[in-house]
Amino acid sequence: MTRRTNTLVPSDMKGLWAFVPACSTPDAADVNAVNTIDTEALLSLVDRLVRDGADGIVTTGSAGESHTLTTEEYRTLVATVVETVNGRVPVFVGASTLNTRDSIERARLIADLGADGIMSGPPMYLPQTPENAVQYYKDLAEAVPELAIMIYQNPHAFRITLPPAAFRELAQVKNVVALKQTSMDIFNVIGAIKAVKDKMAVLVLDQLMYPAMMFGAAGGWSIDVCMGPWPALSLRDACQRGDWTEAAAIADQMQAPMRSLGLTMEEFQAMQSAWWKIAVDVAGYGRAGAARPPFVHIPEAVVDSARRYGQRWAGLAERHYRSREAAGLKPAAADGSRAGRPTPADGGPDQSSLVTTA
């Protein structure tokens, strides 16, 4: 069988990329539950994000719970997202596993389900050397030429910080088109941007699009958008038109809720899947549901932090929604009507009430 070839290039990866949760059914925290993907909630959230202006969709990263889904749930989630997006924007799917062969097998499943690309970090059971991590991506790229590849730089999860030289080498691989940069090391971020030039799109945390886009970052990745995308859309737009004064002001607004996180970064990282889902449900733009086992005993401090963040983001999203609407920037929905304003998600209670605290 003749395989299709990836057609995405780095310039296709610009803008704001929405990272979506694995929306869950009410029984998802039960270890005996099966088929816990809430396809209706997932479809609604993904469609709304695309209609409201997201430039791409990514599923099954760390906050996207790739590590807690069964194979069948994973397949259901990917198929639902691909069908919902229906070619309107690129779809990338997380394909991080414990070894190269499993990642290739998962990538081939993703290709069969119709996604445009994969996001993958180096195998994480044991720390990798840069040389082995680079070889991992080369092997993955060769095995699935039909898919675009987004490198996932997440030092906390994968226990390696790839240096700019590694990205320079991987930028020569045709279907390695993007880098999701989660490192907070500004020298690593800027070094990566300079190393790859225009041969790989570097995406940074949404709140850091300013100043990173001043140095050549292609855009941002965002989980915040699942609580209402309008602040991040406004920052994207300001950066793309080079209005750095406006961008600095918006970035400061977006960073304010995180400054009152009330958790250490270790506490946040350990519970981030549950934390994000609580925040999303509180904000009301979408319905994320409960986290899956083993993340079922959530400290009260984590629950309080997530609720506070979701409430503050929802208020910020409302303000930016109104300002964008006044400026005529509200996008048209797929059916020609106007996309919806930030109101609580339809149906179901606040899912943070379903969390068992410790």
| pLDDT for the residue 180 | 96
Residue 143 placed within a domain: yes
In the chain, alpha helices (H): 39-52, 71-85, 100-112, 130-143, 155-158, 164-170, 186-196, 209-212, 230-240, 244-259, 265-270, 272-283, 300-326
Residue pair 176/200 in contact (Cβ under 8 Å)? The answer is yes
What pLDDT score does 357 carry? 41
pLDDT (0 to 100) of residue 7: 87
pLDDT at 195: 96
pLDDT the model gives residue 349: 36
19 occurs within a structural domain: yes
What's residue 3's pLDDT? Answer: 52
Q: What is the number of domains present in the chain?
A: 1
Which of 326, 313, 242, 255 is CA-nearest to residue 282?
313
The pLDDT assigned to 354 comes to 42
Determine the Cα–Cα distance for residues 104 and 149; give it in Å rounded to an integer. 12
| Gap between the Cα atoms of 64 and 66, Å rounded | 6
Annotation marks residue 321 as catalytic: no
Q: Report the pLDDT value the prediction gives residue 185, as an integer from 0 to 100.
A: 81
Per-residue model confidence (pLDDT) at position 99: 96
Q: Is residue 220 part of a domain?
A: yes
- How far apart (Å, rounded) are the C-alpha atoms in residues 51 and 334? 6
Q: What is the per-residue pLDDT for 183?
A: 81
Single out the catalytic residue among 152, 210, 309, 321. Answer: 152
Give, to the nearest 10 degrees, the angle between helix 39-52 and helix 71-85: 40
Q: Is residue 324 part of a domain?
A: yes
Give domain status of residue 5, yes or no: no
Residue 81 domain boundaries: 13-351
Q: Which of 180, 285, 309, 321 is catalytic?
A: 180
pLDDT digit of tens for each residue in the chain (358 aa)? Answer: 345 667 899 999 999 999 999 999 999 999 999 999 999 999 999 999 999 999 999 999 988 899 999 999 999 999 999 999 999 999 999 999 999 999 999 999 999 999 999 999 999 888 899 999 999 999 999 999 999 999 998 888 788 889 999 999 999 999 999 999 998 788 889 999 999 999 999 999 999 999 999 999 999 999 999 999 999 999 999 999 999 999 999 999 999 999 989 999 889 989 999 999 999 999 999 999 999 999 999 999 999 999 999 999 999 999 999 999 999 886 544 443 445 555 544 333 344 444 444 4
Examine residue 216 and state whether it is found in any structural domain, yes or no: yes
Q: Is residue 2 part of a domain?
A: no
Tell me, what CATH number does 185's domain have?
A: 3.20.20.70
313 in a domain, yes or no?
yes
Specify the pLDDT at position 329: 84
* Number of neighbouring beta carbons within 10 Å of residue 171: 20
Residue 152 catalytic? yes
CA distances from 185 to 7, 120, 163, 166, 191 (A): 32, 20, 11, 16, 10
